[in-house]
Amino acid sequence: MPDIRLLVDCKTNLGEGPVWDVAEQRLYWVDSTAGEIFRCLEDGSEVQRFYLPTFIGSLALRETGGAVLAMADGFNFFDFDTQRITPIYNPFADRPEYRFNDGKVDRKGRFFAGAMGLDFDPLDVSKPKAPARNGSLFRLDPDLSVHELETGLICSNGPCWSPDDRTFYFGDSEHKTIWSYSYDIETGRIADRRLFASDQGFARTVDGATVDAEGFLWMAKVLGGQIIRYAPDGSIDRVIDFPLRNPTSVNFGGSNLDILYVTCMGRPMRGIPPTHPNAGGVFAIHGLGVQGLPEPRFAG
């Protein structure tokens, strides 16, 4: 049985995007709607918090130091020492109904991040169904050029790659679906979208994901209170019942890359206050018998 432990009782509103950095031996994550970045050591000690002026979807560490951020106002650099933000490019300048959401870096140092419609709210069934949108998946290259790779999205989530870099996984929480694409690691291009897994259950949807060293995809099922491990063919290999209903994202870390870190949502759900005392915390799952892969740093 896996051992699930509270790591940091940070009570995030919308905890997202855990990233374990091998070089620093630190865990990073964000509170998306509060506009905050957190980091700590493997055991949850030495917690630090950094404040941002707007929503943040995801972050990646840079090879040259600091971070690249996918925020409501586009791609930005961030200096942890000075807390200075340097704009790169805002693809939403003419689409104010969007902000960035989940993002990750490939093993050539490119940062992928997708859009989220600001009116998308899976927690409020009193709202009408989100209208059709044209949100996109973007790739930020080390030369700081920005490329649009996919369109027609509402709430993008779960970008990650197979260990051989030949498959890219990416999902949309509104569609409750994650797709796989053929991936060209030399160019950063995606092609041949196909269904990988779909979960059309009413009370859950797809969220953040990572791929382990064996090529299996781990995904948080927000609203469903589960962590799912999918085999490379899309079949369910393992289900972990999580103590909170709203896990949002996962990433392997720790000195041996064998701890699964899980962020959570602490915001009220359909108007009902969270009942779990550790809502919004970050958790660590030990004893899975699986190792993850190092998260690359952005090369720009």
Residue pLDDT, tens place only, 148-167: 999 988 888 999 999 999 99
Q: What is the pLDDT of residue 294?
A: 98
Q: Is residue 83 part of a domain?
A: yes
Q: What DSSP character marks residue 13?
A: S
| Cα distance between residue 195 and residue 179, in whole Å | 5
Cβ-based neighbours of 145, under 8 Å, separated by 6 or more: none
Q: Is residue 245 part of a domain?
A: yes
pLDDT in tens, 21-45: 999 999 999 999 999 999 999 999 9
Strand, coil or helix: 144:
coil
Q: Is residue 296 part of a domain?
A: no
* Total domains, the chain: 1
Structure tokens at 268: 């009220």
Mean pLDDT of 83-110: 93
Q: What is the pLDDT of residue 133?
A: 63
Q: Is residue 299 part of a domain?
A: no
Q: Give the structural domain span for 171.
A: 3-286
| Residues tagged in the binding site annotation for a divalent metal cation | 16, 157, 207
pTM above 0.85, yes or no: yes
Using a pLDDT cut of 90, give the percent of the chain over it.
78
Give catalytic status of residue 207 as yes or no: yes
Q: Is residue 293 part of a domain?
A: no
Using a pLDDT cut of 70, give the percent of the chain over it.
91
List the one residue out of 69, 96, 75, 95 whose CA is nearest residue 87: 75
Q: Find the CATH number of the domain harbouring 27.
A: 2.120.10.30
Q: What is the pLDDT of residue 8?
A: 98
Check residues 154 and 289 and name the one with the higher pLDDT.
289
Flag the least confident range among 76-85, 113-122, 223-232: 113-122
Q: Is residue 297 part of a domain?
A: no
Q: Is residue 137 part of a domain?
A: yes
Task: Give me the catalytic one of 207, 233, 241, 258.
Answer: 207
Mean pLDDT of 185-201: 91
Q: Is residue 298 part of a domain?
A: no
